[in-house]
């Protein structure tokens, strides 16, 4: 089964700084890739997803992620973070040959105003 | 207003008691899931169900049981056999597991279970 690694457990940035959160997975076949966000006290919600096609995907709130197949990575980026981006971010991978979704351990982002 | 509802939001139980967490969806999704979220461990899959009257164990099914008698409902029972039940439990659904493009999961608000 596939596994997912998120290398940063807690990231602290000042407003307007650029963000990159790492996500690597281990699986040799075709995958669907997702980034979810959990704002304090709110539901887990989808930021963006990759199924096929252009490896650079754009999501809500100015986030984007790039799928690099050769590196088994799907890093999340945002050029300029805001205080309201403070949340926990989860990378998830679904292998097309099985039915379960694997989540990373999550990265907590704190943006200082 | 479509979505997933979980009740209650907070639940307390005494050690040795079984407790059932509710999950209902009105999205007409075929697949439903239960996850457990612990700090620093992300989401771990407990059970999932692709269709009514069918469900599969996830990575940490021991001490848990589920049923799927109706498409919109997927209750989770935390039994007294679960050694460390205090956690945040999330229910999710997706349109259809057969279609790769339909596997995006939608989540409920969660239930925080505390065993006293």
Chain A 70-99, residues with CB within 8 Å of chain B CB atoms: 90, 92, 94, 96, 99
- In chain A, what percentage of residues exceed pLDDT 70? 98
Please state the rounded mean pLDDT for residues A14-34: 93
Record: contact A32-B100, CB cut-off 8 A: yes
Is the pLDDT assigned to residue B6 strictly greater than 80?
Answer: yes
Q: What is the mean pLDDT of chain A?
A: 93
Is the pLDDT assigned to residue B98 strictly greater than 80?
Answer: no
Please state the rounded mean pLDDT for residues A48-55: 92
> Nearest C-alpha of chain A: how many angstroms from B41?
5
- pLDDT value for B102: 64
Q: How far is CA B11 from CA A35, B25, B73, B86, B112, in A?
A: 29, 20, 19, 10, 6
Question: pLDDT tens for residues A60-85?
Answer: 999 999 999 999 999 999 999 999 99
Kindly state whether A59 is in contact with chain B, defined as any CB-CB distance less than 8 angstroms. no
Question: pLDDT tens for residues B18-72?
Answer: 999 999 999 999 999 999 999 888 899 999 998 999 999 998 999 999 999 999 9
A97 band by pLDDT with thresholds 50, 70 and 90: confident
Question: Do residues B83 and B63 make contact, with C-beta atoms less than 8 angstroms apart?
Answer: yes
Is the pLDDT assigned to residue B1 strictly greater than 60?
Answer: no
Q: Is B14 helix (H, G, I), strand (E, B) or coil?
A: coil
Record: contact B100-A51, CB cut-off 8 A: yes
Record: contact B50-A99, CB cut-off 8 A: yes
* Partners of A14 in the β-ladder: A112
Record: contact B43-A103, CB cut-off 8 A: yes
- pLDDT value for B101: 65
């Amino acid at each position: 089964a596939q596994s997912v690694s998120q290398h940063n457990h807690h990231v602290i940035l000042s407003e307007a700084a650029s963000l990159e959160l790492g996500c690597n997975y281990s699986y040799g076949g075709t995958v669907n890739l997702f980034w979810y966000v959990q704002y304090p006290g709110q539901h887990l919600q989808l930021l963006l997803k990759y199924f096929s096609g252009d490896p650079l995907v754009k999501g809500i709130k100015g986030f984007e992620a790039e799928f690099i197949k050769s590196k088994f990575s799907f890093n999340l980026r945002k050029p300029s973070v805001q205080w309201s981006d403070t949340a926990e971010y989860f990378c998830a991978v679904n292998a097309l040959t099985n039915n379960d979704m694997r989540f990373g351990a999550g990265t907590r982002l704190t943006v200082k105003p | 207003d479509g979505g997933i509802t979980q009740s209650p939001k907070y639940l307390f139980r005494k050690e040795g008691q079984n407790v059932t967490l509710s999950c209902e969806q009105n999205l007409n999704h075929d697949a439903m899931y239960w996850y457990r979220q612990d700090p620093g461990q992300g989401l771990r899959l407990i059970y999932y169900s692709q269709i009514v009257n069918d469900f599969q164990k996830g990575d940490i099914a021991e001490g848990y049981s589920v049923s799927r008698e109706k498409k919109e409902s997927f209750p989770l029972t935390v039994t007294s056999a679960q050694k460390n039940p205090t956690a945040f439990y999330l229910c999710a659904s997706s349109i259809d597991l057969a279609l790769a493009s339909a596997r995006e999961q939608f989540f409920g608000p969660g239930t925080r279970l505390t065993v006293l």
